[in-house]
Chains A and B, each alone.
Chain A
Amino acid sequence: RKEVEQDPGPFNVPEGATVAFNCTYSNSASQSFFWYRQDCRKEPKLLMSVYSSGNEDGRFTAQLNRASQYISLLIRDSKLSDSATYLCVVNINTGRRALTFGSGTRLQVQP
């Protein structure tokens, strides 16, 4: 079983739609959680950290459910510029200080 699992997509949605991505992680010792965004042939860029209480940044809302080991990202009012691959990222605290990446979910927002 992969340490971080995501639906690869692609998700094809029209502009203005609301879209939700899910991610599960296998290691209950995981400490920190993030969503990164990666455009084609570019580096990953931090979109937002994910906290147990849930957090919102403009059109983006992230949720964490530690009991179910589940992370979500909700994008409201999708823009064309949101088209990218969204990476679920977990920092597993077993002494390693590195990030474990999911394979990503591809989003294509269409006009």
Chain B
Amino acid sequence: NAGVMQNPRHLVRRRGQEARLRCSPMKGHSHVYWYRQLPEEGLKFMVYLQKENIIDESGMPKERFSAEFPKEGPSILRIQQVVRGDSAAYFCASSELAWETQYFGPGTRLLVL
């Protein structure tokens, strides 16, 4: 049973470009969570999605960031017009049911030049 998959593992963007991060949850999991980890800091919750629905986006920056989890395909975290401060590791986690244990993917490390 494959775990949570994320791609790309590393992404380099120049300021002003768009970054798209993908997450495929574990098989049978319909709850997806995105977290961001800045260098030398703990993980911070960004958004929680179920299929086709955003349940909680209280941790998402108000501008430039969006997330989706379509009926088919992976969850996408999209960052428009990236800035240097967006450089971080972005982790996706999934769970079978709400409140159940969350399992993390390997993360995408975004570097903005």
Chain A residue, CB-CB nearest to B97: A97
Q: Contact between B48 and A97 (Cβ–Cβ < 8 Å)?
A: yes
A45 to B105, CA, bound (A): 9
- Min CB distance A2 to B, Å, is 9
| A42 pairs with B56, CB closer than 8 A | no
* Cα separation A102 to B42 with both chains bound (whole Å): 6
Interface 1/0 per residue, A38-57 and B, CB below 8 Å: 00011111100100000000
Does B113 count as interface, using CB distance less than 8 angstroms? no
Give which listed residue, A43, A45, A87, contacts B42 with CB less than 8 A.
A87
Where chain B touches its partner, the secondary structure class is strand
Question: How far does the alpha carbon of A102 sit from the alpha carbon of B41 in the complex, in Å?
Answer: 9
CB-based contact A44/B43 at 8 Å: yes
- Residues of the A chain whose Cβ atoms lie less than 8 Å from the Cβ of B104: 43-45
> Contact: A43 with B105, CB < 8 Å?
yes
Across-interface contacts of A103 in B (CB, < 8 A): 41-42
- Residue in chain A with minimal CB distance to B59: A98
Most buried by B among A34, A45, A87, A101: A101
Chain A residues within 8 Å of chain B by Cβ, number: 22
Residues of B within 8 A of A32 (CB): 99
Contact B99 A97 (CB under 8 A): yes
Is the pair B45, A44 in contact by a Cβ cutoff of 8 Å?
Answer: no
A98 touches B48 (CB 8 A): yes
Is the pair B91, A91 in contact by a Cβ cutoff of 8 Å?
Answer: no
Q: Could you give 11 example pairs across A and B, Cβ below 8 Å?
A: A42-B106, A43-B107, A44-B91, A96-B56, A97-B55, A98-B56, A98-B59, A99-B33, A99-B35, A102-B42, A103-B41
B-side residues, CB < 8 A to A, are 31, 33, 35, 41-45, 48, 55-56, 58-59, 89, 91, 93, 98-99, 101-107, 109
Instruction: State the 10 A-B residue pairs at the shortest beta-carbon distance, nearest first.
Output: A103-B42, A43-B104, A98-B45, A101-B43, A101-B42, A97-B98, A44-B104, A43-B106, A96-B56, A43-B107
Q: Which residues of A contact B (CB under 8 A)?
A: 31-32, 34, 41-46, 49, 87, 91, 95-104
Q: Besides the contacts A41-B89, A43-B107, A99-B93, what 11 more A-B pairs have beta carbons closer than 8 Å?
A: A44-B91, A46-B103, A49-B101, A96-B45, A96-B48, A97-B98, A98-B45, A99-B33, A99-B35, A101-B44, A103-B41
